[in-house]
Structure 1
Amino acid sequence: GSGGLKVFISVLYSKKMKALESLIGMIQKFPYDDPTYDKLHEDLDRIRGKFKQLCSLLNVQPDFKISAEGSGLSF
């Protein structure tokens, strides 16, 4: 039967959801309004890494550039 496939799909799905949830969590906790935040680049790298991980899980090619005007931040 297709039992194995169902399990495979649900495992895959939950893995994607976990990655997505943790990415959203990281973004929500990010202290945008604190210019003195010393782990800014560390956190951005983590978010960027998680984003890339999610893209590969979803089989998506991120070919866009997200940039904050003038700050030089881009994904």
Structure 2
Amino acid sequence: MNNFDKRNRLGDEPFNFRVSKDKTVFLDYNGRQVKVIKGTEAEKFLKRINAAENTAEEQLVMAKITGNFKRGNE
């Protein structure tokens, strides 16, 4: 793994995604939904996920797309 995950938070694969019939993407973090992506943004996300070479890169793509969502007492 490269320097992008120095604390090894993505090694446990906390992110997951689901795609609905209408191409809406639901991003989950530890089983809880944190973001919904639709339209062209969803298409770009799916292209980036398909281009990822391994699960570590997929986790990084999902982490970047969700941004800094943890702001409180999660």
Tell me which interval the TM-score lies in, with the shorter structure as reference length.
under 0.3
Give the TM-score taking structure 1 as reference length.
0.25
**Larger CA Rg, structure 1 vs 2:** 1
Name whichever structure is richer in strand by fraction: 2
TM-score (norm 2): 0.26
In proportion to residue count, which structure has more helix? 1
